[in-house]
């Protein structure tokens, strides 16, 4: 599988080089992007931008997941909580997190707080629905069987609901992670002085396509690494589940 991944990446880069070599589109060549990446890495600019974006994404994403999972369990387990919370969740899901940016600036200022809040909102809304869906999708037969065996509500929740919901939760975590990275560029519009999204916006002013590509590729690589970490955690937590 790893070899297929490598071949696919090499093929993609080759097609990119072929397209730019014949001037089909006005994109920088892979070599030009690589040179710019080396220049930024040697100056330390690439590492500082990557760390700034990574810190914002990780903080907002972690907070979103930490809040989304218990809220999702609460919505799925208690009908009264579901009736109270679900309208708010569905309401805010229809509003793109990027549309919250002006409100975040006015109410939270222009420091790190609004940036992290927008990322938090994106990851929370993606994950809470997956957790909720996982709870309500648990086979009632397993719950009834646990009750027949004398299990109380807490034991059922801990030994039946949580394990059975984990596949859904991990899917929500992966979606939340993707939402966090897709939001960080817009979040760094908020008076940022560093970050991959900030660097792209600065490069746009000077039509510096190579720098834009360096930031885009860096975001993709960091997001891919974090996604693979989540998948590794998922494989451990859901080892009991049969997968293709």
Count of other CB atoms within 10 angstroms of residue 36: 21
Q: What is the pLDDT of residue 22?
A: 75
| Domain around 66 | 44-237
* Interatomic CA distance for residues 76 and 134, integer angstroms: 8
pLDDT digits (tens, 9 = 90+) for 25-60: 678 888 989 999 999 999 999 999 999 999 999 999
Count of domains forming the chain: 1
Q: Is residue 243 part of a domain?
A: no
Q: Is residue 169 part of a domain?
A: yes
pTM: predicted TM-score of the whole model, two decimal places = 0.86
Q: Is residue 86 part of a domain?
A: yes
Query: Are 131 and 67 spatial neighbours (Cβ–Cβ below 8 Å)?
Result: no
Q: Is residue 37 part of a domain?
A: no
Q: Is residue 151 part of a domain?
A: yes
Q: Is residue 80 part of a domain?
A: yes
Nearest to 200 by CA among 225, 177, 219, 179: 219
All residues at 6 or more sequence positions from 110 whose CB lies less than 8 Å from its CB, including other chains: 190, 191
Query: pLDDT higher for 137 or 23?
Result: 137
Q: Is residue 30 part of a domain?
A: no
User: What is the pLDDT of the chain when averaged over all its residues?
Assistant: 86
* Interatomic CA distance for residues 154 and 152, integer angstroms: 6
Q: What is the pLDDT of residue 61?
A: 93
Angle at 170 between CA 8 and CA 155, to 5 degrees: 155
Nearest to 62 by CA among 119, 131, 132: 119
Residue with tokens 């002085």: 193
| Main-chain dihedrals φ then ψ at residue 111, nearest 5 degrees | -90, -150
The CATH number linked to 131 is: 1.10.3720.10
Count of other CB atoms within 10 angstroms of residue 5: 9
């Amino acid at each position: 599988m790893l070899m297929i991944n490598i071949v696919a990446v090499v093929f993609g880069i080759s097609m990119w080089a072929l397209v730019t070599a014949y001037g089909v589109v006005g994109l920088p060549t892979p070599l030009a992007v690589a040179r710019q990446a080396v220049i930024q890495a040697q100056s330390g600019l690439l590492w500082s931008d990557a760390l700034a974006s990574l810190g914002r994404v990780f903080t907002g994403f972690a907070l979103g997941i930490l809040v989304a999972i218990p809220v999702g369990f609460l919505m799925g387990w208690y009908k009264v909580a579901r009736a109270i919370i679900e309208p708010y969740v569905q309401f805010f899901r229809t509003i793109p997190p990027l549309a919250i940016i002006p409100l975040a600036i006015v109410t939270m200022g222009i420091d790190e707080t609004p940036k992290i809040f927008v990322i938090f909102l994106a990851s929370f809304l993606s994950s809470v629905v997956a957790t909720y869906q996982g709870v309500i999708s648990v086979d009632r037969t397993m719950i009834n069987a646990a009750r027949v065996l004398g299990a109380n509500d807490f034991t059922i929740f801990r030994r039946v609901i949580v394990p059975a919901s984990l596949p859904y939760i991990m899917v929500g975590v992966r979606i939340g992670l993707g939402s966090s990275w897709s939001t960080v560029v817009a979040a760094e519009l908020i008076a940022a002085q560093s970050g991959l999204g900030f660097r792209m916006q600065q490069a746009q002013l000077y039509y510096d396509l190579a720098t834009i590509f360096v930031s885009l590729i860096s975001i993709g690589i960091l997001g891919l690494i974090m996604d693979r970490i989540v998948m590794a955690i998922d494989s451990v937590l859901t080892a009991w589940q049969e997968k293709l």
